[in-house]
Each structure stands twice: as C-alpha cells, then as structure tokens.
Amino acid sequence: MSIRISATLEARMVDGEGRIVCVSCSHPLGPTDQPWKPAATLNELPMKGAGGEVYTAGDDVLLRQFNCPSCGKVLDTETALRGDPFLIDEVDVSALSDS
C-alpha cells in the first residue's frame, strides 16, 4: 500500500521499511520519519530572471527546485533567501506500518 504525501511523493513499504518515494519513478528518498529534501538533488536558480525578464528579484533570492535524483522531475519548489533553511513538510504516514 501507499500513502499520498503530495502530488509528487508518497510513502511506501520498501523491503519492510517505510520509505518516501517519487511517485513518477518510485525512487526512494529516505525513511518516512526523516525529511526527504536532503535526499533530492537541489537546483538553486537565481530568482532574478528565473522565469523571464519580469523576475526582477534581489541577488540573494533563490528559486530552490528539489528534484528527483532518478527521473529528474521537480518534486517541490520554494522561494528562499540564500542561507535560509529548507521548508520542512511532514505527513503522518504511521498507518503505513500499521497495515
């Protein structure tokens, strides 16, 4: 069974362990009780110009793309000032181990 975490991620049992995986390619991104973002590849684009000339942001403003290391799909994005921590989202998937 699997439990939805977001449009791009879900929790599944892999070899008896709860894992967060990429919905597109099933690539595991770590255990369910850990933040998944460190396991993703990070693409930090300067926000300035990120989506065309109209993106007139300051120099330290970043568009962080967290990508699946296997299929390359964007799993999540966030706007961040350089040095600010990642936003952490956690979905309770304890039902996974109950089943």
Partner 1 sequence: MDPITFSIIRHRLYRIVDEAVITLKNVSGSATTNEGHDLMVSLYRANGSLLMGGVGFLHHLTSAAEACKAIIRRFKGDIHEGDMFLLNDPYTAALHTSDIYLISPIHYDDQLVGWSACFVHVYDIGAMSPGGFSPQSQDIYTEGFSSPGIKIIDRGELRNDVLDTLLNMVRNPEMVSLDIRSLIACNNVARDRFRVLIRKYGEEIVDGACMTLIDQSEQLLRDRLRELPNGKWQSRQYMDVNAEVHRVGLTMTKEDDHLVFDFSDSSPESPYSINCAYWASWGGLFAPLFPLLCYDITWNEGVIRPIEMIAPEGTIVNCRRPAPVSVATVGAIQSVNNAACTTIGKMLAASEKYKGEATAVWHANHFAIFLFGQNQRGGQSIGILTETFAGAGGARSFADGVDVGGEVPNPISRMANVESMEAAFPLRYLFRRRMKDSGGAGEYRGGVGAELAFVPHDAPDGGLHYVVSGKGTQFPMSEGLNGGYPGAPNSYLWVHSNEETAGDAPLSFAQSLESMPGEKESVTWGVYPIMGRDGLYVQWNGGGGYGDPLERDPAAVVADFEEGVVSEWTLRNVYGVVIDGDAGELDGPGTEAARKAARGTRLQREAAE
- Which residues of the chain form contacts with partner 1 (CB under 8 A)? 3-8, 37-43, 47, 50-58, 61, 63, 65-67, 69-81, 84, 86-92
Query: How many whole angstroms separate alpha carbon 60 and alpha carbon 88?
Result: 21
Residue 4 contact, options partner 1, Zn ion, none, Cβ 5-8 Å cut-off depending on partner type: partner 1
Q: Is 70 in the site for Zn ion (CB under 5 A)?
A: yes
Nearest Cα to Cα of residue 71 among 33, 28, 30, 37: 28
Smallest separation, CB 42 to Zn ion (Å):
15
Binding site for Zn ion (CB under 5 A): 22, 24-25, 27, 68, 70-71
